[in-house]
């Protein structure tokens, strides 16, 4: 294992790792997420995008905004303005993947409601409850970007296609 992998390795099983093109790769345990300013989501119905199936109603989540964690790790800036063509790939521990763009998170109202949740209806969530849970509260159908057991956020800077 090289030194880069040692830094990126989760400190504990439930840690969330920010890796890729961030200025400082970081790892957050559940308790570390609670040290940041928190936001509370509106209660919502979890509904699958593919089948439109109602899954369950969800009490208000509390968590830290994804933009807060990204800012802590530092947006890429080795080339001026490259942060604006950055995409963030979020992965669950099971390999489930969803994407966000810099514009979406930092330059639209969607970003204000994207959180990494560690509490629901006033109750602390643990790994068995799926924590930490990535949740995008402004999505039309919330289930796809409701990632249980979020493990990693990778920053990728897109380049010209040809
Ligand atoms: N980690 C993880 N989160 C996930 C998924 C997944 O496969 N893995 N599937 C998503 C989709 S498409 C749906 S419909 C819901 C299913 O929620 P449930 O497992 O509570 O029924 O979880 C979402 N979050
Ligand atoms: Mo789904």
Ligand nearest to the CA of 148: 1
Q: Is 161 among the domain residues? A: no
Q: Atom 12, ligand 1: which residue's CA is nearest?
A: 144
pTM reported for the whole predicted model: 0.92
What CATH number is associated with residue 114? 3.90.420.10
pLDDT per residue as tens digits for the range 128-156: 999 999 999 999 999 999 999 999 999 99
* pLDDT score for 1: 45
Q: How many Å apart are CA 107 and CA 111, to the nearest integer?
A: 8
Q: Is 40 among the domain residues? A: yes
Q: Is 37 among the domain residues? A: yes
Residue 150 · residue 158 · CB < 8 Å: no
> Which residues make Cβ contacts (< 8 Å) with residue 59, sequence separation at least 6?
43, 120, 121, 122
Q: How many Å apart are CA 22 and CA 74, to the nearest integer?
A: 5
Q: How many Å apart are CA 32 and CA 28, to the nearest integer?
A: 6
Residue 143 structural domain: 3-156
Distance (Å) from CA 160 to ligand 2 centroid: 32
Q: Is 107 among the domain residues? A: yes
Distance (Å) from CA 46 to ligand 1 centroid: 10
Nearest to residue 146, comparing CAs of 57, 80, 17? Answer: 57
Q: Is 162 among the domain residues? A: no
| Number of structural domains in the chain | 1
pLDDT per residue as tens digits for the range 67-96: 999 999 999 999 999 999 999 999 999 999
* pLDDT score for 136: 98
């Amino acid at each position: 294992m090289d030194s880069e992998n040692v830094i990126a390795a989760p400190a504990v099983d439930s840690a969330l790792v920010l890796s890729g093109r961030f200025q400082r790769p970081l790892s957050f345990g559940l308790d570390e997420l609670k040290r940041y300013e928190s936001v509370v989501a509106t209660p919502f119905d979890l509904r699958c995008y593919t089948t439109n199936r109602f899954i369950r109603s969800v009490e208000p989540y509390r968590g830290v905004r994804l933009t807060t964690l990204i800012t802590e790790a530092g947006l890429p800036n080795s080339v001026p303005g490259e942060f604006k063509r950055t995409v963030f790939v979020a992965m669950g521990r099971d390999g489930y993947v969803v994407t966000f763009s810099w514009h979406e998170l930092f330059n639209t109202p969607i970003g204000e409601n994207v959180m990494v949740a560690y509490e629901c209806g006033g109750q602390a969530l643990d790994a068995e409850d799926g924590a930490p849970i990535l949740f995008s509260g402004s999505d039309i159908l919330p289930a796809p970007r409701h990632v249980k057991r979020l493990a990693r956020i990778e920053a990728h800077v897109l380049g010209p296609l040809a």
